[in-house]
Amino acid sequence: MNNVWIKHAAQLVTIAGDNAPRKREGMSELGIIEDGSVWIEDGKIAAVGTTAELERIYRERAGEAEVVDATGKLVTPGLVDPHTHVVYGGSREREFEMRLEGATYMDIMNAGGGIHATTRMTREATEEELIEQTTRRLDSFLKHGVTTVEGKSGYGLDLETELKQLRAMKRLNESHPIDLVPTFMAAHAVPQEYKGKEEEYIDRIIDEMLPVVAEEKLAVFNDVFCEVGVFTPDQSKRILEAGKEHGLIPKIHADEIESYGGAELAAKVGAISAEHLLKASDKGIEKMAEAGVIACLLPATALYLREEAAKGRKMIDAGVAVAISTDCNPGSSPTTSMPLVMNLACISMRMTPAEAIVAATINAACAIGKQDEVGSLEVGKLGDAVIWNVANYQELQYLFGVNHVGQVLKKGKRVVG
């Protein structure tokens, strides 16, 4: 049976619109249908409306569909996580203790930990081992209502391992229910063997890595960590502009630890999104709003690093489209819980419950160029939906730190519940 009929949702959050990033008041428009219903046919949404409306339309075909009874429950689009480092080898739980003992993120990284530690473990892992470890994380994402995930390389920092990560992602995208969108990020750090030879490493990214990634069509985006002690704004610009020449869309890790002009650079290079932004300047926020750069905010990372969260409320009020993400990674946010991230968006960034849902659905989809396929419950989009064990969207954020997922549908197939 290829058809699924979700019926009697207490609140059906459609987020129907024009598939453009939501800004300002638009981030509060959920398109709620009470006693809502969705008919999914061959993996795609064929109709959305009240249960009474769809019962009239599909009266003669009711027996063709598997019925999902959502009585008393909230139904939303499948969540979209637009910023993860989900493919990596090993674990770094010892660093958690080190931070609690007073070490900073950069202290750990400069001592050979952080990204460098995961790089060593990822280089040592086989492609099959990476797939096995990542499958467990993707399974956990599904259980938390996430049906589309962006994944970055960047734990190889050499051609062989970067390709290994990206090829693992390609295989997982083909085999796992979750849709996995790949980003090339060899500019995640300067590898230890290139310390003092940073320009030589940048040349390798531009001259050796980017052409192969583009030729094999292993990535959609090109990301860079623009930060004091990592890549300067000028170096970041070089890498992002080189990626554009190969058809890769720019993204940028910006202003996470210090205000460094990353938000401004995102606007200048036409990045689809700027990530982190804890220390983004007022000017940077203004430039992002003018250029239409989506702010991808990561409140779980700020919490884990015990830093003040990004200024989500200020960005929304300034006209920036805001998305949110787990930043799933082994060092600064080892979580797959988008429900927790939505809770934190409200608690630590003063976003409203409605804004948090929009940031985790349509705006997140726009941040990875998937808005025509996912991010809302509309005719023609994939049948990705979450049935939550709460009655309304406010309750989803009010009862925080709990996974309220009851069922998850991916392309109309029940994958959780």
Rounded to whole angstroms, how far apart are CA atoms 333 and 188?
A: 16
Per the structure block, which two tokens stand in for 133?
């470890």
Nearest alpha-carbon partner for 46 in 61, 26, 29, 63 = 61
Q: Which two tokens stand for residue 237?
A: 């610009």
Q: Which residues pair with 333 in a beta bridge?
A: 329
Q: Which DSSP category does 309 fall into?
A: P
Helix (H/G/I), strand (E/B), else coil: 184: strand
* pLDDT by position in tens, the chain (length 417): 689 999 999 999 999 999 999 999 999 999 999 999 999 999 999 999 999 999 999 999 999 999 999 999 999 999 999 999 999 999 999 898 888 999 987 888 788 788 999 999 999 999 999 999 999 999 999 999 999 999 999 999 999 999 999 999 999 999 999 999 999 999 999 999 999 999 999 999 999 999 999 999 999 999 999 999 999 999 999 999 999 999 999 999 999 999 999 999 999 999 999 999 999 999 999 999 999 999 999 999 999 999 999 999 999 999 999 999 999 999 999 999 999 999 999 999 999 999 999 999 999 999 999 999 999 999 999 999 999 999 999 999 999 999 999 999 999 999 999
Helix/strand/coil percent split, the chain, to 5: 40, 25, 35
- Closest Cα partner for 405 from 73, 143, 220? 143
Q: Spell out a b/e string for 6-15, using b for 16 or more CB atoms within 10 Å of the CB, else e.
A: bbbbbbbbbb
Backbone dihedral angles phi then psi of residue 326, each to the nearest 5 degrees = -75, -30
- On whether the CB atoms of residues 6 and 75 are closer than 8 A, the answer is yes
Rounded distance between C-alpha atoms, residue 277 and residue 363, angstroms? 16
Q: Where are the alpha helices (H) located in 144-182, listed in sequence order? A: 159-175
C-alpha to C-alpha distances, 127 to 174, 291, 311, nearest whole angstrom:
15, 39, 38
Q: What is the DSSP letter of 71?
A: B
